[in-house]
Amino acid sequence: MELNHTHDPQARSWLDSANGPDNDFPIQNLPFGVFRRRGSGETFRGGVAIGNQVIDLTAVTASGTLDGLAADAAHAASQPALNALLAMGPAAWSALRHALFDALSAGASGPRTDALRASLVPQDDVEHSVPTRIGDYTDFYTSIHHARNVGRVIRPDDPLTPNFQWLPIAYHGRASSVVVSGTPFHRPMGQAMPPGSSSPVYGPCARLDYELEMGFYVGPGNALGQRVPLDRAEQHIFGMCLLNDWSARDHQFWEMAPLGPFLGKNFCTSVSPWIVTMEALAPFRVPFSRPADEPQPLPYLDGAANRAQGGVDVRLEVLLETAQHRARELAPARLSATSFRHQYWTPAQMLTQHTVGGCNLQPGDLLGTGTISGPTPEEAGAMVELSLGGSRAIPIEGTDEQRRFLEDGDRVILRGWCERPGVTRIGFGTCEGEVLPINPG
C-alpha cells in the first residue's frame, strides 16, 4: 500500500488529546471497534478511536454529513458488529478513513467537523465487544523462534517439525470463546499426563500460559473452492489487533498426539478492542526475506510485493500484574518484548495458504498469527519459553514472587505500537485478561 496524506507526520487534529507523542490513537491511526456507553444497555455500534475519544459512527451517519462511498461505509460500520464494513473492501475502508481524517484535521470546519465533535464519547466511559461476528477463527504457528523454543521442551533432539519452513502451519480454533480485552476467565479443567506416570489425571490446569500474538480480520471473503493468490491477499485483510491465545500446556501437550490442540486452547482467546487498519500500518511495512541457506517459499507463497514489504514492524511487550502488584499498588512487571517483524511467514502468506485447498473465508473471520518470539531469550512470547518448560523460575520485577506458569489472580497485559524516525507513532491499545480460580460448577 502506498503512502498518502493520511500518513503525513505533520498532520495534527483539533482534538488536543490526539496530538501527544505517546498517544496510541493520533489522527494517522483511526482504528475501528465496537462500543457502547458503559452500563447503559445501549446497542453496541461501530466507533473509531481518536485521542482519548471514540467517534460514534451511528451519530455521524445520522447527521447526514458524509456522502458517497464514505457514507455507505459509515452506515455499514454503525451496526453491532463490523462485518458489513469489512465485506465492502479496501475502497470503502479508505473512503471512510479519508473523510474522517479530513474532518478531524486541525483547521477543519463545517457541518462534517461539527458532526464529529458532537459524536465524541470519552474512551473512559465506554465498554467494548468483540469487533466482528467471528464465523471462524484460525490460529497459525509462524514464529520459528517460538517453534524451536517450544520444540526443545517437547522434542529436545528434533525441535523443528519438517514442514515448518515450507508452509504456514495452523489449527482451527474455537470462535465462541474469543472474548474482548478485559474479560476474565476461569482456570480450565482437563486431562494431563504427569511426568513419570503411566496414566493421566483429571484436574485443573497446572501449567497455564499466555501467548503473545497478533490477529488479523478478513475483509471480503472468497467463494468455496476459489483460491486467493498472494498478490491479492492483502485486499482481503482489513486490519490487525493484539491477541492472547491462552494455553493449558499440560492439557495441550498430552492431547496433541496425534491431532492438534483441543481443550488446551479452546477455553479462552482474548483480542484487543481496536482494529488498526492495514492502511494505517503502511508506513511500518518491512521486507520479507529468508536466509539463503534456508528453504525458500514455494512459488504460490512468493511474490515481489511480499518480498518488498510483506512484513510489519509492530513493537510488542508482555506485562504481568499479580495480586501482590495490586495490593501494593505497583506497576505491572515486564516479562518480555519483541517485534512482529521476526515472524517467519507474513499475513498475506497465511491468508493465501488458508485458501489454497478451497476453504472459503468470510468477512469478520479472525486469523491469529501464532506466538511472536524474537531471536533472543528475553524476546520469548510465552511463559513456557521463559521458564524453559517450567524448569526455571521467572523472577517478577518489583515483588518477591516467581512464576513458572500463571497463577490465579494474575493479569496479563499485551501492548503493541509502531514507531520509526520521521513517522508518527501509532498504537493498538492493550489486550488484557485475568485468571480466575476454577469454576466449581
Terminal C-alpha separation, the chain: 51
Q: Taking a C-beta distance cutoff of 8 angstroms, is the pair 331, 131 a contact?
A: no
Give the pLDDT of residue 157: 80
- Mean pLDDT across 295-323: 98
Q: DSSP states of 49-85 as a string?
A: EETTEEEEHHHHHHHT---HHHHHHHHHTTSSSSHHH
Q: pLDDT grade, residue 421 (50/70/90)?
A: very high
- Give the pLDDT of residue 154: 75
- Pair (231, 176) in one structural domain: yes
Distances (CA, A) of 62 to 70, 118, 125: 13, 11, 21
Residue 30 located in a structural domain: yes
**Cα(276)–Cα(426) distance, integer angstroms:** 9
CATH at 16: 2.30.30.230
Phi, psi of 317 (to 5 degrees): -145, 155
Structural domain range at position 12 = 5-128
Number of neighbouring beta carbons within 10 Å of residue 49: 27
Structural domain includes residue 441: no
Candidate from 73-87, 91-105, 250-264, 365-379 with smallest mean pLDDT: 250-264
> pLDDT value at position 237?
98
Predicted local confidence at residue 158, as pLDDT: 77
> What are all long-range contacts of 227-231, with beta carbons under 8 Å and residues at least 24 apart?
227/352, 227/355, 227/356, 227/358, 228/351, 228/352, 228/355, 228/361, 229/300, 229/352, 230/300, 230/301, 230/302, 230/303, 230/306, 230/348, 230/349, 230/352, 231/303, 231/305, 231/306
C-alpha cell at 222: 472468497
Model confidence at 368: pLDDT above 90: yes
* Confidence grade of residue 309 (pLDDT, cut at 50, 70, 90): very high
Residue at a domain's end among 79, 103, 128: 128
Q: Let me know if 128 is exposed, middle or buried by CB neighbors in 10 A (0-12, 13-18, 19+).
A: buried
* pLDDT tens digits, 13-41: 999 999 998 899 999 999 999 999 999 99
Q: How confident is the model at residue 88 (pLDDT cuts 50, 70, 90)?
A: very high
Q: Are residues 228 and 315 in the same domain?
A: yes
Q: Are residues 90 and 168 both part of a single domain?
A: no
- Rounded to an integer, the average pLDDT of 110-114 is 98
- Is residue 167 domain-shared with residue 24, that is, in the same domain? no
Final residue in a domain of this structure, among 103, 128, 153: 128
Residues 276 and 255 reside in one and the same domain = yes
Chain segment 336-357, per-residue pLDDT in tens: 999 999 999 999 999 999 999 9
Mean pLDDT of the chain: 96
Residue-wise pLDDT tens digits, 142-192: 999 999 998 888 777 878 999 999 999 999 999 999 999 999 999 999 999
d(CA 295, CA 91): 36
- Same structural domain, 155 and 56: no
The C-alpha cell that represents 318 in the structure block: 508482555
Q: Can you state the angle between helices 90-104 and 68-76, rounded to 10 degrees? A: 100
Closest CA to 25 of 17, 34, 33, 36: 17
| pLDDT given at position 319 | 98
Whole-number pLDDT of residue 441: 77
Q: Which run of H or of E encompasses 433? A: strand 423-436
Same domain membership, residue 25 and residue 173: no
How confident is residue 247, by pLDDT bands cut at 50, 70 and 90? very high
How far is C-alpha 19 from the geometric centre of its chain's CA atoms? 24
Active site residues: 146
- Give yes or no for residue 311 having a pLDDT over 90: yes
Same domain, 114 and 167: no
Strand partners, 214: 242
Q: What is the pLDDT of residue 330?
A: 96
Cis ω on the peptide bond leading into residue 111 (within 30° of 0)?
no
Structural domain count of the chain: 2
Q: Answer with the one of 128, 163, 178 that is the final residue of a domain.
A: 128
Shared domain check, 187 and 51:
no
Does position 197 have pLDDT exceeding 90, yes or no? yes
Do 109 and 202 have their domain in common? no
Q: Which residue type does 204 have? A: P
Q: State the average pLDDT over residues 262-272.
A: 97
In this prediction, residues 207-215 reach a mean pLDDT of: 98
Mean pLDDT of 326-334: 96
344 torsion bin: left (phi>0), alpha (psi -120 to 50), beta (else): alpha
Whole-number pLDDT of residue 440 = 86
Spatial neighbors of 321 by CB under 8 A, at least 6 apart, are 332, 333, 410, 411, 412, 413
Q: What pLDDT shows up at residue 153?
A: 80
Q: Which grid cell is 322? A: 499479580
